Chain A
Amino acid sequence: GAGVSQSPRYKVAKRGQDVALRCDPISGHVSLFWYQQALGQGPEFLTYFQNEAQLDKSGLPSDRFFAERPEGSVSTLKIQRTQQEDSAVYLCASSTYGDEQFFGPGTRLTVL
């Protein structure tokens, strides 16, 4: 696969459940970004990894959100005790140093 892949594509969670969203970046891309996109809005930055180091997590909306990339490749975004306001599309993007970001198809999270 040449592109960024994300799983699951769709996730329905009951309020209070924990969810884990996976991102497989393009092979060799050292930079990995997570964004949150609400309906009708542009993506909003959540967090950034360079290899396994999380260099910027300023966009994470609360301490219920946690991201990791332990081996510098696959990344997981975890949301604990989901709330209705967490419903959105979660996009992952990867890039080489300084180049354009390539986006995955996203995970649409619906919290009931």
Chain B
Amino acid sequence: GQNIDQPTEMTATEGAIVQINCTYQTSGFNGLFWYQQHAGEAPTFLSYNVLDGLEEKGRFSSFLSRSKGYSYLLLKELQMKDSASYLCAVRRITGGGNKLTFGTGTQLKVEL
């Protein structure tokens, strides 16, 4: 089976830094993805990690430790438009392709 855990809600201040954690248990691990989803909209791709370490992409960075089953998404210089749900998703190698298993999402609220 698979289990993906991430906090339900987080609140942060504009201009600050926030870290959203994700832990997972899975077999056939083939990468971890972070998506951003604004209310009523499609998830949009933020980052991808398949090897251990930090991937930086502008204001967003993502970290992966495969041995610990742990990832985090780091958002710097927070802006009001960053208020959204952040979805952690694990990709597994299966007989039929590389499907994603999502966590329930972390609802981030950015305040003034």
The residues of A with any CB-CB pair to B shorter than 8 Å are: 4, 31, 33, 35, 40-45, 48, 50, 55-56, 58-59, 91, 98, 100-106
Contacts and interface: CB of A to CB of B under 8 A. Distances in A.
A106 B98 CA distance: 21
Classify the interface of chain B: helix, strand, loop or mixed: strand
Contacts, number: 58
A91 B42 CA distance: 8
A102 B45 contact: yes
26 contacts: A31-B97, A35-B102, A40-B105, A41-B104, A42-B4, A42-B102, A42-B103, A42-B104, A42-B105, A43-B43, A43-B102, A44-B102, A45-B99, A45-B100, A50-B97, A55-B95, A56-B95, A56-B96, A56-B99, A58-B96, A91-B43, A100-B33, A101-B33, A103-B43, A103-B44, A105-B41
B87 A42 contact: yes
Interface band, chain B:
20 to 34
Contacts of A104: 42
